[in-house]
Amino acid sequence: MGLNDQWMQRDLKVLWHPCTQMKDHEQLPLIPIRRGEGVWLEDFEGKRYLDAVSSWWVNVFGHANPRINQRIKDQVDQLEHVILAGFSHQPVIELSERLVAMTPAGLDRVFYADNGSSCIEVALKMSFHYWHNTGKPQKKRFVTLTNSYHGETIAAMSVGDVPLFTETYKALLLDTIKVPSPDCYHRPEGMGWEEHSRNMFAAMEQTLAEHHQTISAVIIEPLIQGAGGMRMYHPAYLKLLREACDRYDVHLIHDEIAVGFGRTGTMFACEQAGIRPDFLCLSKALTGGYLPLAACLTTDKVYQAFYDDYPTLRAFLHSHSYTGNPLACAAALATLDIFEQDNVIEQNKALATRMASATAHLADHAHVAEIRQTGMALAIEMVKDKTSKTAYPWQERRGLKVFEHALTRGALLRPLGSVVYFLPPYVITPEQIDFLAEVASEGIDIATRESVSVAVPANFHPDFRDPG
C-alpha cells in the first residue's frame, strides 16, 4: 500500500468530509496533500496538482507564500489570541483601519466573524436589529435572488436558492422573498448583458414597491453567483438596486465573500457600479487562504442605532470565540500588503485576457453552450444540446468526469455540476493557464462523448447539481 492509500484509509475511518457523499470514495480516491507551494499542491507520493479553484476560492497568492508565512510567524511569538470583548490588539485595529480605507466611502465600522456563513448571519441580524431599534419592527423579511448562495448556516441558507443545499431543510428556514436573477445565461438571443440585466430589474422594482414596508434588506452576490454555477450579470443591475433600496428605505447587503479582493477585476465588485452597500460581507481571500476570518463592514448610521446605555438592550450582543483572531488578522494584513505592493489588480488584467484566449476555441464545441468571464473567474457551461441550451440531467455528473480526468493530468478542477470553471490564484502564469485550458478541453471532450444512462426519479429536480 502506497503512502497516499495509507493516509486515505486512516482518513476514511474517522473523517466526515464537507459537501461530499462519502460513499463516492468507494470508487473515487481521496487525495491526501502533504505540502503546497505557489499554485501547486503535492500529495504524499510526490504527484502535483495545479490548484485551479484556489482551494475553494480562498487562496489568491499561492500556497506557502513567504510574505504571509513570515507575518504569521512574527505574530505567533507576540499574541496568538485574546478575547475581543473589552480587549483589543494591534493587528485587528490596523486591519480595520485598512479595510475602512480601501472599501467604498461610508463603510466606517467593521464587525468580525469566523467565516462567510457567519458573516452573512451578522449582516442579516444587524439589519433586522437596526429596524427594531429604530421603531420599525415590521421590517423583518429579506429579499434574495433566485439561484443565489450565501452559506449553509440556517439564516444564510434561508436567503439562498440552490435547491441542493436548501431543499432538505425547508422546515427550518426563514420566510424570504425570491426575485428572478439577472443571470445573463438565459438572455434572449442577440441581447447584451447590460440590456438583459436592466430588463430583469423590473421584478425587483415591483417586489420592493409592494413589500418595502416589511422588508429589512436585499442580499445579493454582486456580478457572479458562485455556487449557482458561476452565473454572471452586468453591474448596471447593482446601480439600479442601490437607487431602489434608497427610495424604498431598505438595506442593501453585498455578499462579496467569494468575489471580493480582485476576483471580478476590481478590488470589490461594488466598485464597478460606483455604489456602496449598507453591509459589505468579506471573507475567503481576506487572509490569502490561510486562516478563517470574515469582516462585515457597515455604516456609522447603522452603528449609531445600537449605541446607547446598556439597560436599553440596544447593543448587538453577537459574538464568536475567535472573533478578530490576531493570527488571522496578521495573515490578512500581509495579504493586503501584497495587493498594495505588487499592483495585483492591474497584473490580473493580462491573466484574465490569457484565460479568455486560452479557452476561446471551446465556443465551437458541440456541447458547450457558453464561455463567460468576469475578471479572474471564467466558466464553461457543458450542455446536452447547444442550440436549446438543454442541460444534462444532474444525475449524470458530467462534471465529475472532468474532475477525474484533470486529476490524472495534475490539475485540481472541481466543476459545479456541468460548469467547468477557472478561479485560480493570482500568481498563476500564462503558461499554467494554457495547461489548464488544455486539461479542461480534454475533460470536456471525455465528459460529453459518452452516453450516460441514469434513472430519473419522479420527483426530479432539474435545478439540483453536483456542488463542486
Q: In what order do the strands lie in the sheet with 377-382?
A: 368-374, 377-382, 419-422
Under a CB-based contact definition with an 8 Å cutoff, are residues 100 and 110 in contact?
yes
How many residues in the chain? Answer: 468
Residue 393, exposed/middle/buried by CB under 10 A (0-12, 13-18, 19+)? middle
- 149 marked as part of a ligand binding site: yes
> What is the three-state SS of 289-303?
CCCCCEEEEEEHHHH
Nearest to 449 by CA among 410, 394, 392: 392
Q: Give me the sign of the Cα torsion angle 53, 59, 65, 67.
A: positive
Three-class DSSP category at 22: helix
- 17 marked as part of a ligand binding site: no
- 136 marked as part of a ligand binding site: no
Phi/psi of residue 394, nearest 5 degrees: -65, -25
Residue 467 C-alpha from the chain's centroid:
13
- 284 marked as part of a ligand binding site: yes
- 56 marked as part of a ligand binding site: yes
- 98 marked as part of a ligand binding site: no
- 319 marked as part of a ligand binding site: yes
Residue 19: CB atoms within 10 Å: 13
Residue written as cell 498594495?
340
- 40 marked as part of a ligand binding site: no
Going by the annotation, the residues of the binding site for substrate are: 56, 149, 284, 319, 414
Going by the annotation, the residues of the binding site for pyridoxal 5'-phosphate are: 116-117, 255, 320-321
Going by the annotation, the residues of the binding site are: 56, 116-117, 149, 255, 284, 319-321, 414
